[in-house]
Structure 1
Amino acid sequence: MNAEKPPGSKQALVIIGMHRSGTSATTGALRCLGVDLGNRLYKGHEGINDKGYFEHSDLADANDEALSALGSSWDDILLRQENWWKREELIPFAARIRSHIRKDFANSSIWAVKDPRVCRLLPWWLEIFDSERISPRFIFVIRSPHAVFRSLERRDGFSMEKSFLLWSLHYLEAEQWSRNFPRAFVDFDRFIEHPAQELARVEETLGISFPISVENAAPCLNQFLSRDLRHHQERESPESSPVLSLTHALHQSLLGAVDSGQPDSLEMDALWNKMESIQSGFPRALVEHIRSSGSIQGNLQITMNRLMRSWSWYTGKPVRFLERLAGRNV
């Protein structure tokens, strides 16, 4: 599953991590260092990502639509089918992404893309990077699967088993496909405690120079980052299952890579094989139902994306705010 490094000259940082894993805080900190994120970013939601998602809205929308074309969605717990990134249905979305990259980052010395969906779409994105002669570098943001589960449970009502499956799939797939590229692994808890130290380590590990030095960015980092960004603390669960055991082992391997530089590839391959074994035990009817539901949910997500970016949505914000003050759930 390895991809060869493209002979690119442009630098792009790819932020890797599961939803609710601290990638927004990490990417916001990169903006303090002068890394270009583009101008069309999704805004945050109160109580969820107050300071912003730092996702390029056009790129995130294209990812959502690509997933929908695959009969999938952001919370799909199934492994992808073989050579899925070669499917013709994805061609127009790849063209859109290339267009946005050329338009928004042509003059950027270093830019970043942050969208957890990229973890599940990485071989497709690697072909896009290769066609644009872009050399990607990867920043893996590692947050406890328990903390991610607590956040997803609160926001989406997910079970621990589903949250852990998603957590593992995001990191396993991204790790497999990024092996031939420069990578840095960041423990989110350590990053929140010592952001300057961790960003300096990332800079050295990836062999890059941020447009603004970590030292000069300190005031921005101190203003942006705070311990309250770590909304959910880790709490171990007495529950046990093949999925939970796999996720715990994967978490430890990735944390080890923070200090060692890279995870053990043989260990990661063994965990990948365990994931395949777990999924091979899914009943066929369940798999068919998940794929059917994923397509429906993906289309709903695309509709919501378009609605929330429409003028009617923006102009209606004051009315919705007043109605909420009046006690109406809108």
Structure 2
Amino acid sequence: MSRQPAKTATPRTAYLVLGMHRSGTSAVTQLLALAGAQLPTHVMPGDEHNAKGYFEPWKIAIFNDERLRAAGSAWDDPFAYPYRALTPDDDKAWLDAATALFDEEFPKAAWPLMKDPRATVLLPMWREVLARKRVEARCVIPVRHPLAVAGSLRRRDGFADEKSVLVWSAYMLAAEAYTRDLPRAFVGYDALLADWRAEVARIEAAHGAPLPKLTAKAATEIDGFLTADLRHNAVSDGLKRLGWAGEIAGDVFAWFEAKAAGRDPDQRLLDRAAARLAERARDMGALISSTTRDLAAVRAELLDARARLEVAGAFEAEAKASIARLEDGWRAAQSLLDSIDAELDAALAEE
């Protein structure tokens, strides 16, 4: 009786788009999706802040918000890096839940495409999920000037520039530190808008493999959406006006800008920035963590309600009522955060 060779599972490779909110991750994700990588089952709809869509797995985004809160953090925590582990039992429970969620979002995807900026600071957990599923990873890290990101966050969330560039720094430090042993490409956001084909060539060279399926039709679609109107916030002022927060962000940006240009920057730039951020976390972390976490909880619920409204029209009235209630809670939480921001601004002004 002849023996049939054992069937082996088809290799799977995930594309991870890592980096800060408002830094070009949506544009990169749409490009990768058109080039053959596979979006999750439940994708966050666009809104007035990003009409072309976020391309985020909204269920995973909500899950990540909950995981951050469990560790006393939030998506806009300037001190979310380094990763905060929980107790072994709690970590296992979260890992089990994350694995189940990955299966739900990417049940048959050979090229899962995951973009949620929160996953950047939670990457140690998500890498364990990929290891469990025997999924390889290729990373794409968009690089955008922190002041451009700050301008977008000021308009959308009312954040002070000092806070925004610190949060940006934390995310970028995490993106670099947690991917050193993975194939990764650093993509300049302005360069992507100017000549996406050149940036795709750099991505493929860094990964040592072509994108899954970049067809002529896909290229035409990419030409159609990667337009100058995606460059919403021009940078006019330097980081130096932001004091020590700007100095930290300046070191981080100098490293990433060089990396995106194909140069080999001095690792000491990132080491110095990480050390200074850790020092500030010891001094100031307690000032902002609790209110930031509470505000993030309301924001996550609001995100959930809006996504459900988009994907389940039959429950439109109920979802709208939920949104109205949550927006009232948002305003109350925002007023609390404003008082904390005032304390933080005062602390920054003393430097």
Q: TM-score range by the shorter chain?
A: 0.7 to 0.9
1:300 matched residue in structure 2: 298
Contact 1:17 1:23 in 2 (8 A): yes
SS of the residue 2:241 aligns to = coil
Q: State how far apart, in whole Å, the 2-side matches of 1:56 and 1:307 are.
A: 14
- 1:248-305: CA deviation from partner (whole Å, max 9, x where unpaired): 12111101111336654343223212222333333xxxx3342221331232123213
2:258 matched residue in structure 1: 256
SS of the residue 1:73 aligns to = coil
2:329 matched residue in structure 1: none
Once the 2 structures are TM-superposed, how far is the Cα of residue 123 of structure 1 from its aligned partner? 1.3
- Unpaired runs of 5+ residues, structure 2, are 1-9, 322-351
Deviates more, 1:99-108 or 1:217-226: 99-108
| One-letter amino acid of the structure 2 residue matched with residue 300 of structure 1 | V
Deviates more, 1:296-305 or 1:73-82: 73-82
1:181 matched residue in structure 2: 182
Q: 1:313 to 1:263 in 2, by over 3 A?
A: farther
1:230 matched residue in structure 2: 231
SS of the residue 1:41 aligns to = coil
Q: 1:29 aligns with which of 28, 31, 45?
A: 31
1:328 matched residue in structure 2: none
Q: State how far apart, in whole Å, the 2-side matches of 1:128 and 1:101 are.
A: 8
| One-letter amino acid of the structure 2 residue matched with residue 162 of structure 1 | K
Q: 1:68 to 1:296 in 2, by over 3 A?
A: same
Give the number of the structure whose alpha-carbon radius of gyration is greater.
2
Once the 2 structures are TM-superposed, how far is the Cα of residue 313 of structure 1 from its aligned partner? 8.8
Q: State how far apart, in whole Å, the 2-side matches of 1:318 and 1:80 are.
A: 34
2:272 matched residue in structure 1: 270
SS of the residue 2:21 aligns to = coil
Q: Which of structures 1 and 2 has the larger relative contact order (alpha carbons within 8 angstroms, sep 6+)? A: 1
| One-letter amino acid of the structure 2 residue matched with residue 30 of structure 1 | L
| One-letter amino acid of the structure 2 residue matched with residue 303 of structure 1 | E
| One-letter amino acid of the structure 2 residue matched with residue 273 of structure 1 | A
| One-letter amino acid of the structure 1 residue matched with residue 149 of structure 2 | V
User: In the alignment, is residue 60 of structure 1 matched against residue 61 of structure 2?
Assistant: yes
1:290 matched residue in structure 2: 288
Q: State how far apart, in whole Å, the 2-side matches of 1:80 and 1:141 are.
A: 18
2:244 matched residue in structure 1: 242
Q: State how far apart, in whole Å, the 1-side matches of 2:319 and 2:88 are.
A: 43
Residue-pair matches, total? 308
Deviates more, 1:36-45 or 1:124-133: 124-133
Q: State how far apart, in whole Å, the 2-side matches of 1:82 and 1:143 are.
A: 23
1:130 matched residue in structure 2: 131
Contact 1:66 1:90 in 2 (8 A): no
Runs of 4 or more consecutive aligned structure 1 residues displaced over 6 Å after TM superposition: 317-320
> Which aligned pairs between 1:1-330 and structure 2 lie closer than 5 A?
9-46=11-48, 48-79=49-80, 84=85, 88-213=89-214, 215-237=216-238, 239-260=241-262, 263-282=265-284, 287-308=285-306, 309-310=308-309, 311=312, 315-316=316-317
Deviates more, 1:237-246 or 1:222-231: 237-246
TM-score normalized by the length of structure 1: 0.85
Once the 2 structures are TM-superposed, how far is the Cα of residue 95 of structure 1 from its aligned partner? 2.4
Q: State how far apart, in whole Å, the 2-side matches of 1:142 and 1:86 are.
A: 34
SS of the residue 2:261 aligns to = helix
Q: State how far apart, in whole Å, the 2-side matches of 1:134 and 1:247 are.
A: 33
Q: 1:235 to 1:35 in 2, by over 3 A?
A: same
Contact 2:166 2:248 in 1 (8 A): no
1:325 matched residue in structure 2: none
